[in-house]
């Protein structure tokens, strides 16, 4: 191939010119393709956004009841733990103050007149029921004729042990560590 005269009288190889032209055309075409792609993809499509929203809704529908159930069970277990603590305090009280005679005994938790687990310092003042954060204002621990635990009654609305909102825990509740729902006290 012959040479061509370029700027300033220098010889230019025609093959080199052809290669430069091809590269320039390739760059121009690539730039055009990138501009089209950039122009076409400005964001997410409506279908993509709806799919994400549906997936998040499904996850929320599954997670919220599970978390709620876990929280409810933990509240119930904390109430049982409090009832167990009150029962243990009553056992110490009967063993220490009543010479260990558990037969047909009712030990008052707090409130009323006379000795209580709080007044004798077997329990702290201001004890609260964990599930509702309500202060324990009354209740009792009852032992049967054979000296075994009958029930632990916890009252959070007033100092009487017969309110409709009392929480009653039996010996089997404390042993199993499970209580489905608070049981109203007998006679309500």
| Percent of the chain scoring above 90 in pLDDT | 32
Q: Report the alpha-carbon distance of residue 117 to residue 158 in Å, rounded.
A: 17
Residue 163 has pLDDT above 50, yes or no: yes
3-class secondary structure, 4: strand
Angle at 110 between CA 108 and CA 111, to 5 degrees: 100
Cα dihedral 27, 32, 33, 37, rounded to 10, equals 140
pLDDT digits (tens, 9 = 90+) for 59-104: 999 999 999 999 988 988 999 999 999 999 999 999 999 888 999 9
Q: pTM for the full model?
A: 0.63
């Amino acid at each position: 191939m012959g040479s061509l005269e370029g700027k300033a009288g220098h010889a230019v190889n025609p093959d080199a010119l052809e290669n430069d032209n091809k590269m320039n055309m390739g760059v121009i075409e690539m730039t055009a393709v990138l501009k089209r792609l950039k122009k076409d993809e400005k964001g997410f499509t409506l279908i993509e956004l709806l799919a994400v929203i549906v997936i998040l809704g499904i996850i929320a529908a599954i997670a919220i009841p599970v978390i709620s159930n876990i929280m409810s069970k933990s509240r119930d277990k904390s109430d049982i733990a409090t009832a167990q603590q009150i029962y243990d305090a009553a056992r110490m009280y009967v063993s220490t103050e009543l010479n260990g005679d558990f037969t047909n005994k009712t030990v008052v938790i707090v409130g009323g007149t006379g000795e209580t687990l709080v007044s004798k310092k077997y329990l702290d003042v201001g004890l609260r029921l964990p599930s509702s954060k309500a202060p324990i204002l009354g209740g009792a621990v009852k032992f049967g004729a054979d000296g075994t635990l009958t029930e632990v009654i916890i009252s959070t609305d007033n100092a009487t042990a017969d309110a409709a909102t009392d929480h009653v825990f039996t010996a089997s509740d404390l042993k199993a560590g499970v209580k489905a729902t608070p049981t109203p006290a007998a006679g309500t």
